[in-house]
Amino acid sequence: MPVLPPKPEPIAPPSGFRVGAASAGVKDPAERGRRDDIMLLVADVPVVAAGVFTQNEVRAACVAQSEAILKHDPAGVRALVANSGNANCLSGKEEEDWTRRMREAAAQALGLGPEQVLAASTGVIGEPFPIARVAAAIPEAAASLGHSPAHWQRAAEAIRTTDTHAKWACEERENFRIMGIAKGSGMIHPRMATMLAFVATDLALPQAMLARLLRRAVAESFHTISVDGDTSTNDCVIAFAHAAKAPPSRKTLQAFARALQAVCMRLARQIVLDGEGASRCMEIAITGARTKRQARKVAEAIATSPLVKTALAGADPNWGRILAAAGKAQAGIARARLSLWMEDVRVVEGGVRAAGYREEQGAEIFARPFFRVRLDLGLGRATAKMLTTDLSYDYVRINAEYRT
C-alpha cells in the first residue's frame, strides 16, 4: 500500500488543450479493452513546448526524438502521444522506426505533421514494441479527445504502470491555469527517474522563458525525490504553454513560477508516496552546508542508503546509519560539527548522541508513515531537501515479478 495516498485534487483544466485515451493492450493483447494504455495531449491553439529529459546514457528512442524536435522547432509542437506497458527501449534496430511510426499515427489521426508530435513511452525495457496495436488504438484516443476533468483523469490513468493510483495536480489563478499529470512508482531518483510528467498552461509565454521556468521547477521537485536510487531510460517532463512573443507582467510571471513549482512538487510528492512497496516516507533536510552542492550530495547519500532505507522499513531509529551515510558522501563534512534531529527531537549534538535523547522517542517517530529528519552540518548556510521511502519486502516482490 502507498504511504498516505493523497486525496485527488479537484481538476481545473487549462483552456486550449484536449486529452484522450484508448486501450491498445500494449503489454498484453489480452488487456485490450480492459485498461487504457495510450494517451494523447493536443493543443488547439499555437503553443510553445519545453522538456527536461533523463540523463541516463542508455536512452529510449522517444527521448532522443522528442528532445531533437524541441531543439529544432519548439514553437511548432502541437501534440504528444504516450503509452504505458512497453518502454520501446533496447528493443532492437526497429526502435527508432517504431517511435517514428507511433508519432506518424498520431499525426495522421490529428491532421498534423509528424514533426509536430512528441512521443513518450514507459514500461518494460527490451521487449519488441507492438506498433500495430498501438497505431490501431491511436485513432480511438483521438476520437475520445476532450477538455473536461474526466478526460484529464482518464489520461492520467492511461500512463500508469506499477502506480497504485493516477496522479495529477493543478493550480488556478485569476489569469491562468496549470494542469499536470504524472506517473511513477519505482526507479525514482534525481536526474529524472522512471517517471513521466506532462504539464499544460493557458498562460501565454515565450518558449525560452517556459524552458527556463520548467528546469527550475524540476530541480526543486522531481530532482529531490528518491525511491530506489535508479534512474530510467525513458524519463521526461514536458510542458506546453500558449505562445507569446513577449512575456507577461512581472507580477504574473512570478505567480506562474510559483504555481508551476507547486504543481511539479505535488506531482513529485505523489510519486514518492506511491513508491513501490513503500510503507514509510522520510523527508531529509540538510542545513548548515557550505554550498547547495554539498547539501544535495549529503542528502542524496542518505536518501539512497540501503541501510538507512531498511532501518526505515523496520521502524528502527538507527541514527548511526544516517550519519554513516552522510560521511559516505565524501562531501567534506566535519563529524564534530554534526547535529541531527528527528522531528523536534535532538538525537545528535557535536557528532555524538545528545545527552537527553531516549531511544523510545526515535522509535515512536520512525513508526510513523511520514516524518522529517534534519542534519545540520555546522559549516555554512546552504540547505537541501529530499524525500525518500523505505526499502520493503514488497519492493523486492514487485520488481522480482515485474515481467511475470
Residue 267, helix vs strand vs coil:
helix
What CATH number has the domain bearing residue 303? 3.10.20.340
What's the pLDDT band for 404 if we cut at 50, 70, 90? low
Backbone angles phi, psi at 402, to 5 degrees: -60, -40
Does the residue 10 lie in any domain?
no
What's the pLDDT band for 224 if we cut at 50, 70, 90? confident
Q: Which three cell numbers stand for residue 357?
A: 535523547
What CATH number has the domain bearing residue 268? 3.60.70.12
Does the residue 80 lie in any domain?
yes
What pLDDT sits at residue 269?
86
Residue ending a domain, among 234, 257, 273, is 273
81 & 190 share domain: yes
242 & 320 share domain: no
What percent of the chain stands above pLDDT 70? 90
What pLDDT sits at residue 342?
97
43 & 162 share domain: yes
Is 375's pLDDT higher than 70? Answer: yes
Name the residues annotated as catalytic. 194
The predicted model gives 233-242 an average pLDDT of 92
Q: 363 or 235, which is more confident? A: 363
Residue 19 identity (one-letter amino acid): V
Q: 273 or 387, which is more confident? A: 387
DSSP, residue by residue, 311-347: HHHTT---HHHHHHHHHHT-S---GGG-EEEETTEEE
Residue ending a domain, among 273, 306, 333, is 273
Q: What is the CA radius of gyration of the chain?
A: 22
Residue ending a domain, among 251, 273, 295, is 273
What percent of the chain stands above pLDDT 90? 73
3-state SS string for 130-170: CHHHHHHHHHHHHHCCECCHHHHHHHHHHCCCCCCCCEEEE
Residue 311 identity (one-letter amino acid): A
205 & 327 share domain: no
96 & 173 share domain: yes
The predicted model gives 205-234 an average pLDDT of 85
Is 8's pLDDT higher than 70? Answer: no
Does the residue 316 lie in any domain?
yes
What pLDDT sits at residue 184?
77
97 & 162 share domain: yes
Starting at the edge strand found earlier in the chain, the sheet holding 339-342 runs 225-226, 382-389, 281-289, 370-376, 339-342, 345-349, 352-353
Beta-sheet strands, E only, within 216-262: 225-226, 236-243
Does the residue 11 lie in any domain?
no
266 & 308 share domain: no
228 & 125 share domain: yes
101 & 119 share domain: yes
Task: Please state whether beta strands 79-86 and 117-124 pair in parallel, antiparallel, or not at all (unpaired).
Answer: parallel
The predicted model gives 191-209 an average pLDDT of 86
What pLDDT sits at residue 389?
87
Least-confidence region, from 112-121, 143-152, 196-205, 303-312: 303-312
76 & 186 share domain: yes
What pLDDT sits at residue 361?
97
pTM: 0.85
What pLDDT sits at residue 229?
58
Burial classification of residue 247, based on how many CB atoms lie within 10 Å of its CB (0-12 exposed, 13-18 middle, 19 or more buried): middle
The per-type count for the chain, helices as H runs and strands as E runs, is: 11, 16
Does the residue 1 lie in any domain?
no
Is 274's pLDDT higher than 80? Answer: no
What's the pLDDT band for 331 if we cut at 50, 70, 90? very high
Residue 119, helix vs strand vs coil:
strand
Using CA atoms, how far residue 269 sits from 146, 153, 183, 227, in Å, is 27, 18, 11, 11
233 & 110 share domain: yes
The predicted model gives 341-369 an average pLDDT of 96
Does the residue 9 lie in any domain?
no
Is 152's pLDDT higher than 70? Answer: yes
**Mean per-residue pLDDT over the chain, rounded:** 90
Q: Which domain holds residue 321?
A: 281-400
Q: Report the range out of 5-14, 188-197, 231-240 with the highest average pLDDT.
A: 231-240
Is 189's pLDDT higher than 60? Answer: no
Is 398's pLDDT higher than 70? Answer: no
Does the residue 238 lie in any domain?
yes
214 & 298 share domain: no
Residue 66, helix vs strand vs coil:
helix
The predicted model gives 1-26 an average pLDDT of 82
Per the structure, how many domains does the chain have? 2
Rounded (10°) angle between helices 292-303 and 319-328: 130
Does the residue 12 lie in any domain?
no
